[in-house]
Structure 1
Amino acid sequence: MNTPTKPWTLMYTIYKETVPDVHRIMGEWRARAAQIPNDELRRQALVSMETKAFHCEGGAAYSLLAKNKRKDLLRFIIAYQTICDYLDNLCDWSDSQDPDDFEMLHESLKHALAPGTPTENYYKYRKDQDDNGYLKALVETCQSSLVTFPGFSNVQENMEELSAYYRGLQVHKHVVKKDREPRLTTWFERNRAHLPEMTWYEFNACTGSTLGIFAMAGHAARSHLAKIQADSIKSAYFPYVQGIHILLDYFIDQEEDIEDDELNFCAQYPDEEKMAERIRYFKQQAEKSVSVLPDAKFHSMIIKGLIAIYLADEKVQTNPAMKKTANQFIRFGGLPTAFFYLNTWIYRRKSKEILGSAE
């Protein structure tokens, strides 16, 4: 199986082959999560899989980069993304707003990228403790998958760098409300010297994606990589590909976050026009940055597909103002984005009908 280079072959392969495998593997983790003794940990593990399954579906597209190691790569992507989504729920919905607790929980993501590192008690600073080894099993699945990738040794350092950014964001954005923006802006200032021109909230958006990690894992699973190749993949994805990913995520969540009094990065722009202009700029820079990579067409389609997936979301479709802005994004994404958008919208409608008729 060659890496898809056309929108229709990518869509067909994802929905006919990859998505069923994703749901089968997620089903195994769901069954394990259902056995967690602690009520709160079990609830958040199950809810995170129920509400954020599309994160694993999207990440799984990178499994198409590695023909011979596809199953191991898919297991890594799903385990790593499941940790991210589970911990995000724990930090969002628990009573804790303790940065030490959040840092300790997210040590699991650091260990997941470091085969041979012993697991720890990641719940050390919270009252909810007994998950029956669920989080450790996710970490160990990542570790055991990564060691089979021929190019892992040369991407490990870069994967850890992007993971450290992600972990930092998760700590800073979940602390007590009055401390969030000061922590996030201070963190931005510490990193500003090696970034292109951007605002503090755009930088924070760039840190919140796992796509760069999955792209590096995909290439590492396929073959040996020189360090210079690993560096080019990281630089292609961070900041702009990851930035457009998370800016779109915050775009569709604006109303929800305002209602819940949550920090939203897209709401920081002075107006809708400036937000649209900057998202367009991020899209252009993302396309430019991936054009130098092996399988450049595949990575370019991922960007166009990202735009489509978020804009086909029900939150956008039921909000006339958001839909108007979304139509601008679809236009600057071009025909492939329009193709992905239409197919994603149809897929979601059909999935909803199937689920509705099964109830």
Structure 2
Amino acid sequence: MKIPTTPWTLLYKIYRDVLPDAHDYLNEWREKAKKIPNEELKQQALSSLKDKAFHCEGGAVYGLLAGKERCKTIQFIVAYQTISDYLDNLCDRSTSLEERDFRELHYSLIHALTPGAEPVNYYRYRNDQDDGGFLTSLVRTCQDILQDLPGFKDVQYAMRELAGYYCDLQVFKHVEKNRRVELLEKWFERHKHNWPLMTWYEFSACAGSTLGIFCFAAYAANGPMDQERVRLLKAGYFPWFQGLHILLDYFIDQEEDRIEDDLNFIFYYDNEEKMVERIRHMKDKTEESIRGLPDWKFHQLINKGLIAIYLADKKVQEHKELKRTAKRFIRFGGLPTMFFYLNSWMYRRA
């Protein structure tokens, strides 16, 4: 299967091949979620599948890199992203604020990347327990698919490393509000020797994406990989590509996070000009790192498409100040971003 390298061929394959598969798998998990015995867990699972389905839709685009294993790869991506979104809901609107509870829940994301690891009771530190096997089923689905991918053993360590960053972030950002920033700053202290030109909140944003994991899974579907290629893929996505992705996510959530008094990394910039300057810098560094990747034109399209998808969100379109800033982002994304932006705007309204 030829990998798309132009905006129109990418969109054609997304609508024809990617979205139908992603929606089929999402519907399967939705049906399982409806059978969860515990009402709180059922509500959070169904809510995440409804409100965050676009995360699975976006991630599933990486199935286009997997050749004849497209469907299997999309099935993994949907299952893994569903775990991520479900846990985010459980922690965001949680009946618990315990660090050990959030850590235990997120072991499921590590186990999902570890075929042979036996699932445990991920809910053991919270009152709501009985999910009817929903989370374990998601974990096992990921494990079963990954162990059949011919290149998985070559990328497993890198996938688990990215997942480890993600899990740390999710744990630290959801504990008691008066501890969050301190924990995140101390966490960054342990890593900043590798990323000295970042702030703690930018590093946190880089850790908060699953795109690198999906990219590795897609290439693992095609066969074994040498470690130089694994290194290039990781450098292509972490930190800059992932950081840009998550900062845009926080950019569109600003109003909602102010109302809910939730942590938002955009709030830590001194002013709007500094924020725009740093996001532009991340965009430039992302394009630089993408150039070293196989199929780099595809990855460049994904990058420009992500900018467009976030900026076409109704949370931006209905907020005058955000919309004004979004237009600046669209301009430095260039014509492909404008193309994807118009398409995303129409798709969301349809």
- TM-score normalised to the size of structure 1? 0.97
Task: Letter of the 1:122 partner, please give it.
Answer: Y
Deviation at 1:250, TM superposition (A): 0.4
Equivalent position of 1:149 in the other structure: 149
Equivalent position of 2:114 in the other structure: 114
CA distance in 1, matches of 2:278, 2:204: 14
Equivalent position of 1:131 in the other structure: 131
Equivalent position of 1:185 in the other structure: 185
Equivalent position of 2:59 in the other structure: 59
Equivalent position of 2:306 in the other structure: 306
Equivalent position of 1:239 in the other structure: 239
Equivalent position of 2:26 in the other structure: 26
The answer as to 2:89 corresponding to 1:89 is yes
CA distance in 2, matches of 1:167, 1:237: 17
CA distance in 1, matches of 2:250, 2:297: 26
Q: Encode CA deviations 1:290-341: one digit per residue, 9 max, x unaligned.
A: 1111100000111000100000000111111111110110010000000000
Aligned residue pairs total 350
Equivalent position of 1:164 in the other structure: 164
Q: Encode CA deviations 1:175-205: one digit per residue, 9 max, x unaligned.
A: 0000000001110111101115111100000
Q: Encode CA deviations 1:128-171: one digit per residue, 9 max, x unaligned.
A: 11111110000000001001111111100000000000000010
Bigger drift between 259-268 and 155-164 goes to 259-268
CA distance in 2, matches of 1:123, 1:92: 15
Alignment of 1:273-292 (within 5 A): 273-292=273-292
Q: Which sections of structure 2, spanning at least 5 residues, go unmatched?
A: none
SS of residue paired to 2:191: helix
- TM-score normalised to the size of structure 2? 0.99
SS of residue paired to 2:131: coil
CA distance in 1, matches of 2:227, 2:269: 37
Q: Encode CA deviations 1:42-95: one digit per residue, 9 max, x unaligned.
A: 110000000000000000000000111111101110000000000000011122
Q: Encode CA deviations 1:15-54: one digit per residue, 9 max, x unaligned.
A: 2221111111110110001000000011100000000000
CA distance in 1, matches of 2:29, 2:314: 27
Equivalent position of 1:203 in the other structure: 203
Bigger drift between 240-249 and 144-153 goes to 144-153
CA distance in 1, matches of 2:219, 2:279: 27
CA distance in 2, matches of 1:148, 1:294: 23
SS of residue paired to 1:270: coil
Alignment of 1:344-355 (within 5 A): 344-350=344-350
CA distance in 2, matches of 1:145, 1:278: 38
Q: CA RMSD in A?
A: 0.7
CA distance in 1, matches of 2:44, 2:332: 37
CA distance in 1, matches of 2:301, 2:196: 24
- The list of structure 1 runs, each at least 4 consecutive aligned residues, that deviate by more than 3 angstroms after superposition, is none
CA distance in 2, matches of 1:261, 1:229: 42
Deviation at 1:235, TM superposition (A): 1.2
> Closer, same or farther in 2 for the Cα pair 1:196/1:155, shift >3 Å?
farther
Q: Encode CA deviations 1:260-314: one digit per residue, 9 max, x unaligned.
A: 1111101110001110010011001001101111100000111000100000000
Equivalent position of 1:194 in the other structure: 194
Bigger drift between 133-142 and 222-231 goes to 222-231
Give identity over the alignment, percent: 58
CA distance in 1, matches of 2:46, 2:299: 31
CA distance in 2, matches of 1:47, 1:105: 18
